[in-house]
Amino acid sequence: MTDQAQLLPGTLDLLILKAVSLGPLHGYGILLRIGQISGQALLIEQGALYPALFRLVRQGLLKANWGVSENNRRAKFYELTAAGRDRFREETEGWNRVATAMAVALAAQSEEI
Amino acid sequence: MSFLAYVRSLGAKIFRHSQIADEMGEELRSHIQFRADDLEHSGLDRAEAERRARIEFGGYERYREESHEALGGNFIETFQQDAHFALRSLRKSPGFVMVAVLTLAMAIGANAVVFSLLNGLILRPLNVPQAKSLYMVERGEDEESPMQSYPDYIDLRDRSRSFSGLVAYDIDTAGVDTGGNPSSAWLYEASGNYFDELGIQPYLGRFFHASDERGPNSAPYIVLGYDYWRSHFQADRAVVDRTILVNKHPYTILGVAPPGFRGTELFFTPDFWVPLVDQGQIAGSSDLNARGTRGTWLVGHLKPGVTPAQAIADLNSIAMYLVKTYPKDDDRISFKLARPGLVGDMLGRPVRAFLTGLTLLAGLILLAACANLGSLFTARAADHSREIALRLALGSSRRRIVRQMLTEAVLVSLAGGVAGLIGAIVLLRWLSRWQPMANLPINSLPVNPDLSVYGMALLLALASGLLFGMVPIRQVLRANPWQIVKSGSSGVVGRGLTIRDLLLVVQIAICAVLVTSSLVALRGLVQSLHSNFGFEPRNALLVATDLVMAGYSGERVPAMQRRMLDALEDIPGVSSAGLSDRLPLGVDWYEDVVFKDSTTDMKMSNAAAETVIYDVSPGYFRAAGTALLAGRTFTWHDDKNAPRVAVVNREFARKVFESETVAPGKYYKRMDGTRIQVVGLVEDGKHKTLAEDPKPAMFLPILQSPSSSTWLIVRSRRDPQELTVAVESTLRNLDAGLPFSIRTWNKQLDSALFASRIATISLGVLGGLGAMLAVTGIFGMAAYSVSKRLRELGIRVALGAQRKEVLQAALGRAFKLLACGSAAGLLLGLLATKVLAFIVYQASPSDPLVLAGVVLAMSFLGLLATWIPAQRALSVDPLILLRDE
């Protein structure tokens, strides 16, 4: 477990948006996709995904439709709405700014001050 | 989330709740299956795979809850929690709840009553098929009236192309004898096509038709009203084809009208219908051939596709024909249409105006109530600000707190709504059974509340709950929890004049206006009971009868009248007895024009005066207590063979002869050219309404102007009840088959005082409502300011402030507003009484008693409203307050 990082608050939504931005996915698929693109580094308890998904649907960032998966199971597939795409872009930029700033800040040496 | 979206999602949630729960369960289960599939691929057996998948998923129920919450919350559970909490916290402040519920109950009750009146009298059409295309034909322009003559009706019916048919009807009384006790009943005289044209089907038996009309008195049939059939014939189905006596003439009962059909006038429900062609037998005389005598009302359905404007044009082309063909009777006639049900515009216009005014006022009252409750709830929120701040600090969301507060407000408003509705229903039940005038069949105001009234009241309650519940929300949302927890409720109250203050002043002013006007109206009513009517209603008993009802006609009528008078005068203790065909201040006054003796062309425009007419016996003036000023009254020798004479009042003399003193001995003419000599002059009096200006009146001897309609006036100092028994047996001895009713003249005057009485009552009720609102308004404001400044007051007390200074600090503002509002209201109220003078007798605003009453009432209200906050301010204990911080 030590190689898996706990999620910072607020990052789950961004990860979900990212996962879905790559193509429509059902809930379990989103989990797999997040695991895959993060190199299994980010830990999400499986059930915790759903409150986040419903919140995003209600905010109008995701839309959901029932469909059939490749192994013939009925599942609800999520995809980004236009608003979701905009929000994803904004949040990504915001995250990058914070991450860069944090990286710079944490890399600072005493002689640079 | 915006408030509207919240409500919408709540609404959607209630309906889709189970569907969403099912879908969510399916989705979560499908997730676990996916995981189990993967685990199975990695080599586990299916059962173990599913078990592992469930464990990995985590707390299934918890995530399901959270998912629900994420979708907008589990509405029903949250609401239950909120309601439970709200009830608990409301129980802690019963005084607050009582004031709030009572305020709303009054406001919503008032609205429910007004809405039912509006619904019953204006919104709901007459209960006939296709009521939308039903119109009443009125005479238009300078002689607006719903009354038409029968010959004109025949012309309109046969010549008009816009109506599918026109029916005529009027209202009358008749004596009914079913073999037992003779009684009098109200009826419609209706044209033969009445039921067929209106599309009414009989409940029992059959109706009369146009084909039954074959000349005067040719159709001795009656159709019973459903209620009358039940009350007077015990709902006996064998009543059809039975023969009963109507005014001593045999009439056959054809059938019974359906229960929903109560005639074509909302205020007048007939006991039965008879064909209009029988007018001669029913009314005692027939106007069927008198084109100038207008006494019937016409309604009809417009043909499909015909607009009202086209119908009016059509009617007026017939009017031109009538003017040309009958210039004497139909001079300048024209027609218009009116909504049926309230005698066209005659009652319709004032009723509509009155109800519109009432609706506006009721709306204002509700709005003011909401404003008051808003400030009450704000005061409450201020009291609870520490608790709210604590909850915020502990992580409760603001939305949840706002929802909690709204739940509280809505619960209070629903309680108020239900209480108000119950009160309204009781009042309306009473109203619909009410008989304001004993001698008129106004016994059926169609104002019983129906579903739309209940719905409207609950909707209003809900809406007002949300409205005043939102007032304190801004305060909560702006609150900074740290600041409040640290320093107690935020310090300073705004010193500037706020909108709420202004609203309060307006409310107090309205209240003062209402109090002023109701006091003025009350004074007027009391005074009108002691004013000069031109007759003396005290110590007088009235007997109402109509000899036609007992089968008298021709010469037998005056003979019987004289026998009755002689017999009554013989009763011990009776000082005089008189007779008139109509009573002053009665509802059936009769007017006609008179001309100067020199006039030869008897045109309306040449008339000297329009005068009220009474046909009276010689003893009338003494029995009625009308003072003779000059000349003589009548004797029994003023009969058909004697010269025509009249007694007139002073106003008549002023109008026709330009001088009172010359009147006795002078001559004037009536429409038909008859010359009449004035033999006596009597005092002026009240004839049509209490508030009227002096009206010309003429009295004709009953023997020269016979009438079967009979009001006997018996003057005596004896106890009315004793006398009633004596009068009854005297009259029964003369004719056992005569229907009559006995009451005191004062009782009879009820109908004349009706308008001013109604004005007094409704002003009183509104004044009460206004007072209630002003009290809660001042109370809310004072309570708020005390609770906001409790700490400051505590410090003042600790520093040695006297009670007077504490009160000054706490309530000075409330009293200033009260004084401003009362002064403004008093001024406006005095102006408003000018308007009141139209209905209330001698409404004099500058009455010192009224002024004193208003000032006293307003001070009392102020004291009442500030009592509790003042007690709270005075009992403030600095130690507890300081420790509390």
Report the complex ipTM: 0.86
Residue A17 belongs to a domain with what CATH number?
1.10.10.10
A47 vs B30: CB contact, 8 Å cut-off? no
Distance from CA of A63 to the nearest CA of B (A): 13
Residue B552 in this model has a pLDDT that exceeds 90: no
List, for residues B82-121, the tens digit of each pLDDT value: 778 778 877 877 777 887 888 888 888 888 888 887 877 7
B67 vs A28: CB contact, 8 Å cut-off? no
Say which residues have a Cβ less than 8 Å from residue B606's Cβ, sequence separation at least 6: B595, B599
B6 at the A interface (CB within 8 A)?
no
**CB-nearest partner of A73 from B33, B56, B58:** B33
Question: What CA–CA distance (Å, rounded) separates B522 from B514?
Answer: 12
**Domain membership flag for residue A81:** yes
**Phi/psi of residue A42, nearest 5 degrees:** -105, 130
Question: What CA–CA distance (Å, rounded) separates B39 from B314?
Answer: 90
Q: How confident is the model at residue B882 (pLDDT cuts 50, 70, 90)?
A: low
Q: What is the mean pLDDT of residues B319-345?
A: 79
- Say yes or no: B291 and B180 in one domain: yes
**Domain membership flag for residue A6:** no
**CB-nearest partner of A51 from B33, B37, B66:** B66
Q: What is the mean pLDDT of residues B529-558?
A: 82
**Domain membership flag for residue A69:** yes
Model pLDDT, residue A8 = 66
**Domain membership flag for residue A70:** yes
Distance from CA of B6 to the nearest CA of A (A): 12
Closest to B107 measured CA to CA, from B405, B452, B374, B380: B374
State the sign of the Cα–Cα–Cα–Cα dihedral B108, B113, B117, B119: positive
A50 vs B26: CB contact, 8 Å cut-off? no
Residue B461 in this model has a pLDDT that exceeds 70: yes
Q: Which two tokens stand for residue B317?
A: 């082309």
Q: What is the mean pLDDT of residues B276-288?
A: 79
A vs B: CB pairs below 8 A: 64
Model pLDDT, residue B646 = 92
Instruction: Enumerate the residues of chain A whose CB falls inside 8 A of the CB of residue B35.
Output: 28, 46
Q: What is the mean pLDDT of residues B310-336?
A: 81
- Say yes or no: B589 and B679 in one domain: yes
- The secondary element (H helix, E strand) that includes residue A112 is none
> Which region among A67-76, B377-386, B636-645 has the lowest average model confidence (pLDDT)?
B377-386
Q: What is the mean pLDDT of residues B139-143?
A: 72
Dihedral angle of Cα B213, B216, B221, B225, to the nearest 10 degrees: 90
**CB-nearest partner of B58 from A47, A58, A76:** A47
Distance from CA of A106 to the nearest CA of B (A): 31
List, for residues B258-272, the tens digit of each pLDDT value: 887 888 887 778 888
Distance from CA of B53 to the nearest CA of A (A): 9
- Say yes or no: B522 and B471 in one domain: no
Helices (H), B233-303: 279-283
Model pLDDT, residue B490 = 45
Q: Other C-beta atoms within 10 Å of B208: how many?
A: 26
Domain limits for position B192: 131-340
Model pLDDT, residue B491 = 43
Q: Are B836 and B759 in contact (CB under 8 A)?
A: yes
Average pLDDT, chain B: 79
Instruction: Enumerate the residues of chain A whose CB falls inside 8 A of the CB of residue B28.
Output: 47, 50
A73 vs B63: CB contact, 8 Å cut-off? no
Distance from CA of B814 to the nearest CA of A (A): 47
Q: Are B335 and B312 in contact (CB under 8 A)?
A: yes
Looking at mean pLDDT, say which of A8-22, B596-610, B640-654 comes out highest: B640-654
DSSP state of B127: S
Model pLDDT, residue B489 = 46
**Domain membership flag for residue B126:** no
Residue B494 in this model has a pLDDT that exceeds 50: no
Total number of residues shown for chain B: 885
Q: How confident is the model at residue B569 (pLDDT cuts 50, 70, 90)?
A: confident
B69 vs A51: CB contact, 8 Å cut-off? yes
A47 vs B62: CB contact, 8 Å cut-off? yes
Residue type, A96: N
Q: Which residue of B has its CA nearest to A43?
A: B56
Question: What CA–CA distance (Å, rounded) separates B575 from B511?
Answer: 50
Q: Which two tokens stand for residue B236?
A: 């006996």
Distance from CA of B67 to the nearest CA of A (A): 4
- Say yes or no: B177 and B303 in one domain: yes
**Matching residue, tokens 């008897």:** B602
Question: What CA–CA distance (Å, rounded) separates B734 from B742?
Answer: 16
- Say yes or no: B155 and B282 in one domain: yes
**Domain membership flag for residue B578:** yes
Instruction: Enumerate the residues of chain A whose CB falls inside 8 A of the CB of residue B56.
Output: 46
A50 vs B56: CB contact, 8 Å cut-off? no
**Domain membership flag for residue A2:** no
Average pLDDT, chain A: 83
**Domain membership flag for residue B642:** yes
Residue B613 in this model has a pLDDT that exceeds 60: yes
**Domain membership flag for residue B96:** yes
B59 at the A interface (CB within 8 A)?
yes
Say which residues have a Cβ less than 8 Å from residue B230's Cβ, sequence separation at least 6: none
B70 at the A interface (CB within 8 A)?
yes
- Say yes or no: B161 and B66 in one domain: no
**CB-nearest partner of A48 from B33, B34, B58:** B58
**Domain membership flag for residue B752:** no
A76 vs B30: CB contact, 8 Å cut-off? yes
Model pLDDT, residue A45 = 78
**Domain membership flag for residue B119:** no
User: Of B96 and B726, which is predicted with more confidence?
Assistant: B726
**Domain membership flag for residue B125:** no
Q: Is the pTM of this model over 0.90?
A: no
Residue in A36, A49, A50 to test binding to B, most B beta-carbons within 10 Å: A50
Question: What CA–CA distance (Å, rounded) separates B194 from B204?
Answer: 17
Residue B699 in this model has a pLDDT that exceeds 90: yes
A46 vs B59: CB contact, 8 Å cut-off? no
State the sign of the Cα–Cα–Cα–Cα dihedral B411, B417, B420, B421: negative
Model pLDDT, residue B698 = 92
A28 vs B35: CB contact, 8 Å cut-off? yes
B26 vs A28: CB contact, 8 Å cut-off? no
B33 at the A interface (CB within 8 A)?
yes
Residue in B19, B29, B30, B74 to test binding to A, most A beta-carbons within 10 Å: B30
Say which residues have a Cβ less than 8 Å from residue B714's Cβ, sequence separation at least 6: B540, B541, B542, B543, B568, B571, B574, B577, B623, B723, B727
- Say yes or no: B575 and B717 in one domain: yes
- Say yes or no: B390 and B406 in one domain: yes
Q: Which residue of B has its CA nearest to A74?
A: B30
Distances (CA, A) of B460 to B86, B362, B366, B463, B570: 21, 12, 9, 5, 64
pLDDT above 90 coverage of chain B, percent: 3
Question: What CA–CA distance (Å, rounded) separates B44 from B58?
Answer: 20
Residue B834 in this model has a pLDDT that exceeds 50: yes
B67 at the A interface (CB within 8 A)?
yes
The Cα angle at residue B410 between residues B405 and B415, in degrees rounded to 5: 130
- Say yes or no: B587 and B658 in one domain: yes
**Domain membership flag for residue A26:** yes
Instruction: Enumerate the residues of chain B whose CB falls inside 8 A of the CB of residue A61.
Output: none
Q: What is the mean pLDDT of residues A33-57?
A: 83
Model pLDDT, residue B561 = 87
Annotate B212-243 with three-state secondary structure.
HCCCCCCCCEEEECHHHHHHHCCCCHHHCCCE
**CB-nearest partner of B31 from A46, A51, A55:** A46
**Phi/psi of residue B178, nearest 5 degrees:** -100, 15
Q: What is the number of domains present in chain A?
A: 1
- Say yes or no: B377 and B520 in one domain: no
Residue B776 in this model has a pLDDT that exceeds 80: no
Distance from CA of B15 to the nearest CA of A (A): 17
Residue B466 in this model has a pLDDT that exceeds 90: no
Distances (CA, A) of B569 to A108, B573, B706, B730, B737: 126, 9, 21, 10, 21
How many helical (H) and strand (E) elements, i.e. helices and strands, does chain B have? 27, 21
- Say yes or no: B65 and B81 in one domain: no
- Say yes or no: B816 and B830 in one domain: yes
**CB-nearest partner of A74 from B30, B37, B63:** B30
Q: What is the number of domains present in chain B?
A: 5
pLDDT above 70 coverage of chain B, percent: 86
A50 vs B66: CB contact, 8 Å cut-off? yes
Residue B726 in this model has a pLDDT that exceeds 60: yes
Q: How confident is the model at residue B188 (pLDDT cuts 50, 70, 90)?
A: confident
Instruction: Enumerate the residues of chain B whose CB falls inside 8 A of the CB of residue A45.
Output: 58
**Domain membership flag for residue A99:** yes
User: Of B439 and B617, which is predicted with more confidence?
Assistant: B617
Model pLDDT, residue B580 = 92
Per-residue burial over B719-746, b = 16 or more CB atoms within 10 Å of its CB, e = otherwise: ebeebbebbeebbeeebeebbbebbbbe
B71 vs A54: CB contact, 8 Å cut-off? yes
Q: Are A64 and A38 in contact (CB under 8 A)?
A: no
A46 vs B33: CB contact, 8 Å cut-off? no
B58 vs A52: CB contact, 8 Å cut-off? no
Domain limits for position A62: 11-112
Q: How confident is the model at residue B647 (pLDDT cuts 50, 70, 90)?
A: very high
Q: How confident is the model at residue B252 (pLDDT cuts 50, 70, 90)?
A: confident
Residue ranges of chain A whose CB lies within 8 Å of a chain B CB: 26-29, 45-48, 50-55, 57-58, 69, 71, 73-76
B592 at the A interface (CB within 8 A)?
no
Distance from CA of B59 to the nearest CA of A (A): 7
Q: How confident is the model at residue B620 (pLDDT cuts 50, 70, 90)?
A: very high
